[in-house]
């Protein structure tokens, strides 16, 4: 019997993060300061980020060393296993070999912990006392709470209201690690109050929660802001996933034909994909696929242009695939994918067709998730299940001994109420939000 | 940096289970048929168990081979990691070295899957179509549901009513794997109806749920009964834990001074402890400690005598530490430890003082659990937290470079509502149930 799990030892935890920007054959369009309409300067960010992270955001160094204190915490769960989905393959009667990189083994159950630990560490080192952040499904909020607890930092999490109610147990985790959790939009910030005035029943969105957290950080001198996705330094920290994966594939004697991950802001996708982009540019046979929900299809239906990262227009302008910063996605259960935009780095790769994208409705995604839970035994997070759905489709359609690798970004132990709804037939799909996107795209900032 | 995780490869999964009965310097008192008052014969059990499991129950073979089909499923998560709790040690400022054998990495989040897979396999092979079982907190029900799904068996789970409501998400897992879940006491069985007639608001207990499941199996020809703890064959299957641990301790260059596990029916305790008993009998320095809740203290306050395994007096009489089969424990959150009795094998070891026991109230247990979650990052199940509490106490009191190993029987991702109650100060301790025990012990069967 061949091994189902390809395990590395702790000395195989990468010593450096991989910075794709340094290796790209083109330059990323810079973030723009909306006031000056000029490229953002480092000082524009210093009210909310520590210097080291601002450096990492714009760095052109190919390898950035991971401090020993961060690797020490990574050791609690890293390296993560690469697993062969043998029982899923047999169920599908496919000749494809399906692997999944299991990021769900982290303390908080998802890949988010990789950057949370790094961000908390650098903020602590910079003398910051408290972090403010947003969270969708709660995976990021839980991860940052864990990391802040490790480094004795305070933490306030603005949690998208629909998830605050749908996912009470990620909130419990945040409380366990000492964070304060606020349903967003809230009345604690100017941005929140403005939105509640317009719509007191607003269910929130990542864009709104980001506005509240940024405002909180900008107002309080001892507080910084921490983002769980989208930005270059976040994706940088996630490259430990792809770097470990490369070693594991070498051990398995595999070269991937498909790399698949779900995409919201782009951090788990970036984590697995970025270390493979250079060889993808040289080798057209590798397909790298970003999978998003049909209810929030920024890569497949959005526009590639400059837009705000948040709803209240507090952030710099980022060149990215966007549905418009006013677009509020339907309340799908994959809360972590409910973001109007997408990482500028991932967006640039998509605009140059180096990576591909596809979108699925939530019922077909949950069907795939249950097949996975029944065959492999692990319950996926609804976000992760998007990648599983794509992998299953590809394994069925391209039945030619291909090697498919997906990023198993998180488990679904805290999403079981969503599964209850699916299993009892209560779950519904949402119509393609074409009209809402068209409307939201009207509000794009003039700079484009 | 030394390794925090001691990992084995799949070829290290044990090829045989270890049967302590064959190695004991004394004979276990046999189960008694309550009708004849004579030692139970194999045929007395054949209405509810397949022959192979009945053989294992009474076997005197020291090693029992694990079929390849079971090892194939074990590979999904086994061998489980042995982890060094470095950050907990530092927090406690102890010189002790604390390790935990992490059974929470199984598909269903606990050690229960080890025997569930074996039992489902043997029942399937015997031509059985459907299993009936009971569950407390739901860890056993989820594990058996997973295993029945793997081997295409039907499954009905009688779930203790207090947990059915407190732990809705283990129920979701059971549904995910295709099981039917019934709140016990139910009106589907004679035993359930009798109890509901006496007390329509009865919150249930493992003893009652066992009665219902046994009755279901006895009545339906295509249905067998499956028990998640207590019996010899169940503990036998769990010895993979201790057998792997021995290899891992050898790699770490450690000899344990303390082995600690929580105890309800005794299966996770037996799993870690039984492979060490022979050397314990020779080496008095090793202490093996069973930890139970003060609300259900069978080993520390019970009587060692023959009693029924269930409330409706349907099972054989087992010689064990018991609080009386009519004892219904308070609704503590460690639902898996709410059992009036204890494995006859573990009870015999306790009666001969080969192992020790201690009991804790739930608030101090939850305090220990939160310390563990904050230092090690993993949220323990409330059951598991009993072992953690004992390990912390010992590390504080015996501060002499001792090696402490605990069985991390399961994670608490599905117990977060209990943590919410603890963190918000709503959790209460229950008074020592001395009077209730005294009353229940009056109802012991005449045979003793």
How many CB atoms are located within 10 Å of the residue A393 CB? 17
Q: What percent of chain A has pLDDT over 70?
A: 99
Cβ–Cβ gap B370/A76 under 8 Å: no
The SS3 assignment for A321 reads strand
CA-based nearest distance B131→chain A, Å: 18
pLDDT recorded at residue B168: 85
Q: What share of chain B is helix, strand, coil (3-state, %, to 5)?
A: 45, 20, 40
Asked whether the beta carbons of B305 and B322 are under 8 A apart, the reply is: yes
Nearest CA in chain B to A12: B3
pLDDT in tens, A84-143: 999 999 999 999 999 999 999 999 999 999 999 999 999 999 999 999 999 988 999 999
Contacts of B173 in chain A (CB under 8 A): 379, 416
Mean pLDDT across the stretch B89-115?
97
- Which residues is A305 bridged to in the sheet? A320
* Burial environment of residue B180 by CB neighbours within 10 A (0 to 12, 13 to 18, 19 or more): middle
Comparing C-alpha atoms, which of A165, A199, A133, A104 is closest to residue A333? A165
Name the token pair of B369. Answer: 């659990």
* pLDDT score of A1: 66
Q: Model's pTM, two decimal places?
A: 0.96
The answer to whether the CB atoms of A109 and B75 lie below 8 A apart is no
Min CA distance, B82 vs chain A (Å)?
12
Residues of chain B positioned with their CB less than 8 A from the CB of A175: 419-420, 423
Token representation of residue A247: 């070693």
Rounded Cα–Cα distance for residues A266 and A232 (Å): 10
pLDDT in tens, A220-271: 999 999 999 999 999 999 999 999 999 999 999 999 999 999 999 999 999 9
Kindly determine whether residue B370 and residue A149, on different chains, have CB atoms separated by under 8 Å. Answer: no
What pLDDT shows up at residue B1? Answer: 66
Residues of B near A (Cβ–Cβ under 8 Å) read 1, 3-5, 7, 9-10, 72, 75-77, 87, 105-109, 146, 149-150, 168-169, 172-173, 175-178, 370, 373-374, 376-379, 411, 413-414, 416-417, 419-420, 423
**Which pLDDT does position B137 carry in this prediction?**
82
User: Options 2.40.340.10, 3.90.70.10, 3.40.1410.10, 3.40.50.1100; which CATH number does B77-109+238-441 get?
Assistant: 3.40.50.1100
Distance set, CA B424 to CA A142, B363, B440 (Å): 18, 12, 34
| Sequence spans of domains, chain B | 16-65+111-232, 77-109+238-441
Contact A420 B109 (CB under 8 A): no
| Intrachain domains A16-65+111-232 and A77-109+238-441 with the same fold | yes
Chain B contacts of A251, Cβ < 8 Å?
none
Instruction: Give the H or E element holding residue B307.
Output: strand B303-308
First to last CA, chain A: 57
The Cα–Cα gap between A267 and A409 comes to 10
What ranges in A177-309 are assigned the alpha helix state H?
A: 190-198, 206-219, 232-252, 267-282, 298-301
| pLDDT number for residue A284 | 76
Separation of alpha carbons B401 and B258, rounded Å? 12
d(C-alpha B191, C-alpha B217), whole Å: 13
- CA distance readout (Å), A247 to A14, A80, A242, A250, A254: 10, 12, 9, 5, 10
Burial of B53 (0-12, 13-18, 19+ CB in 10 A): buried
CA closest to B415 among chain A residues: A169
Q: Structure tokens of B152?
A: 């295409």
Helix (H, G, I), strand (E, B) or coil at B246: helix
Q: What is the pLDDT of residue B335?
A: 86
Q: Whole-angstrom Cα distance, residue A388 to residue A261?
A: 8
Interface pTM (ipTM) of the complex? 0.95
Task: Give the pLDDT score at A447.
Answer: 67
Buried b vs exposed e over B66-84: b needs ≥16 C-beta within 10 Å? beeebbbbbbbbbbbbbbb
CA distance B119 to B234: 8
Please tell me the predicted confidence (pLDDT) of residue A432.
87
B403 within 8 A of B254, measured Cβ to Cβ? yes
CATH class of B16-65+111-232: alpha beta
Mean pLDDT in residue range B79-90? 98
| Chain A residues with beta carbon closer than 8 angstroms to that of B413 | 109, 169, 411, 413-414
A251-255: long-range contacts (C-beta < 8 A, 24 or more apart)?
Answer: A251/A6, A252/A6, A252/A82, A252/A84, A252/A99, A254/A97, A254/A99, A254/A403, A254/A405, A255/A403
Tell whether the model's pLDDT for residue A8 goes beyond 80: yes
Residues B351-406 have pLDDT tens digits of 999 999 999 999 999 999 999 999 999 999 999 999 999 999 999 998 789 999 99
Using the beta-carbon criterion (under 8 Å), do B423 and A373 form an inter-chain contact?
no
Cross-chain Cβ contact A416/B169 below 8 Å: yes
Nearest one of B411, B410, B406, B408 to B99, comparing CA atoms: B406
Residues on chain A bordering chain B, Cβ-to-Cβ distance under 8 angstroms: 1, 3-5, 7, 9-10, 72, 75-77, 87, 105-109, 146, 149, 168-169, 172-173, 175-178, 370, 373-374, 376-379, 411, 413-414, 416-417, 419-420, 423
Contact yes or no for A413 and B417 at CB 8 A: no
Cα distance between residue A379 and residue A382, in whole Å? 9
- Output the pLDDT for position A312: 87
Do B423 and A176 make contact, defined as CB atoms within 8 angstroms? yes
Answer yes or no: do A72 and B1 touch at CB < 8 A: yes
Say if the Cβ atoms of B373 and A176 lie within 8 Å: yes
Among A389-398, B240-249, B324-333, B416-425, the least confident range? B324-333
Per-residue model confidence (pLDDT) at position A331: 84
At B448 the pLDDT is 52
Tens of pLDDT along B162-205? 889 877 889 999 999 999 999 999 999 999 999 999 999 998 88
Q: Residue B441 to residues B297, B308, B312, B316, B445: CA-CA distances in angstroms? A: 13, 12, 15, 17, 9
Residue A144's Cβ-side half-sphere holds a number of Cα atoms within 13 Å equal to 31
* Span B238-264, pLDDT tens digits: 999 999 999 999 999 999 999 999 999
Where do runs of H (alpha helix) occur along A112-231? 113-125, 139-150, 161-166, 168-176, 190-198, 206-219
Q: Compare CB distances from A177 to B76, B109, B374 and report the shortest one's residue.
A: B374
| pLDDT of A335 | 86
Place of tokens 């310097």: B25
Out of A76, A109, A377, name the one closest to residue B146 (CB).
A377
Q: State the helix-helix crossing angle for B113-125 and B51-58, rounded to 10 degrees.
A: 130
Q: Under an 8 A CB cutoff, do B374 and A109 touch?
A: no
List, for residues B13-37, the tens digit of each pLDDT value: 999 999 999 999 999 999 999 999 9
Which residues are A366's β-sheet partners? none
**Does a cis peptide bond (omega within 30 degrees of 0) precede residue B185?**
yes
pLDDT of B343 over the 90 cut: yes
Q: Mutate which of B15, B90, B169 to disrupt the A interface (most A C-beta within 10 Å)? A: B169
On average, the pLDDT of chain B sits at: 95
Q: How confident is the model at residue A448 (pLDDT cuts 50, 70, 90)?
A: low
- What is the band of A165 on the pLDDT scale with cuts at 50, 70, 90? confident
Tell me if B77 and A377 make a contact (CB, 8 A cut-off). yes
User: Looking at the predicted structure, is the pLDDT value of residue A309 above 90?
Assistant: yes
Q: Which residues of B touch A172 (CB under 8 A)?
A: 416-417, 419-420, 423
The average confidence (pLDDT) of chain A is: 95
Q: CA-to-CA distance for A361 and B256, rounded, in angstroms?
A: 53
- Residue B172 and residue A9: Cβ atoms within 8 Å? no
- Residue B9 half-sphere exposure toward CB, CA atoms < 13 A: 8
The predicted-structure confidence for B58-81, as pLDDT tens digits, reads as follows 999 999 999 999 999 999 999 999
| pLDDT at res. B84 | 98
Position A446 pLDDT exceeds 80:
no
The answer to whether residue A387 scores a pLDDT higher than 60 is: yes
């Amino acid at each position: 019997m061949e091994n189902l799990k390809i395990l590395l030892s702790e000395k195989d935890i990468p010593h450096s993060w991989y910075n794709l920007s340094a290796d790209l054959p083109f330059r990323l369009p810079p973030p723009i300061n909306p006031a000056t309409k000029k490229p953002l300067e480092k000082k524009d960010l210093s009210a909310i980020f520590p210097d080291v992270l601002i450096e990492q955001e714009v760095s052109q160094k190919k390898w950035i060393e991971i401090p020993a204190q961060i690797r020490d915490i990574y050791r609690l769960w890293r390296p993560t296993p690469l697993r062969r989905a043998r029982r899923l393959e047999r169920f599908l009667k496919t000749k494809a070999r399906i692997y999944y990189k299991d990021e769900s083994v982290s303390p908080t159950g998802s890949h988010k912990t990789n950057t949370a630990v790094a961000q908390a560490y650098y903020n602590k080192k910079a003398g910051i006392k408290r972090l403010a952040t947003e969270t969708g499904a709660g995976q990021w909020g839980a991860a940052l709470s864990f990391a802040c607890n490790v480094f004795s930092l305070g933490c306030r999490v603005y949690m998208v209201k629909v998830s605050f109610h749908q996912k009470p147990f990620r909130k419990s985790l945040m409380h366990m690690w000492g964070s304060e959790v606020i349903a967003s939009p809230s009345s604690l910030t100017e941005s929140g109050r403005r939105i509640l005035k317009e719509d007191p029943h607003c269910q929130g969105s990542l864009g709104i929660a980001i506005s509240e957290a940024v405002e909180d950080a900008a107002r309080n001198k001892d507080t910084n802001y921490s983002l769980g996705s989208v930005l270059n330094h976040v994706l940088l920290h996630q490259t430990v996933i792809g770097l470990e994966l490369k070693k594991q594939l070498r051990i398995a004697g595999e070269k991937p034909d498909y790399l698949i991950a779900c995409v919201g802001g782009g951090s788990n996708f970036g984590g697995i994909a970025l270390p493979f982009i250079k060889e993808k540019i040289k080798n057209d046979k590798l397909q790298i696929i970003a999978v998003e929900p049909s209810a929030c299809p920024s890569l497949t239906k959005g526009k590639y242009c400059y837009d705000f990262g948040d709803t209240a227009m507090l952030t710099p302008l980022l060149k990215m695939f966007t549905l418009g910063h006013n677009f509020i996605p339907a309340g799908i259960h994959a809360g972590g994918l409910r973001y109007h935009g997408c990482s500028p780095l991932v967006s640039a790769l998509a605009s140059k067709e180096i990576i591909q994208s596809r979108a699925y409705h939530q019922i077909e995604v949950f069907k795939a998730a249950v097949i996975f839970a029944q065959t492999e035994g692990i319950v996926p997070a609804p976000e992760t299940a998007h990648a599983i759905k794509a992998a299953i489709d590809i394994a069925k359609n391209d039945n030619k001994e291909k090697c498919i690798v997906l990023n198993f970004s998180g488990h679904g132990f805290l999403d079981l109420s969503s599964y209850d709804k699916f299993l009892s037939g209560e779950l519904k799909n949402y119509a393609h939000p074409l009209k809402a996107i068209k409307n939201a795209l009207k509000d794009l900032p003039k700079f484009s």
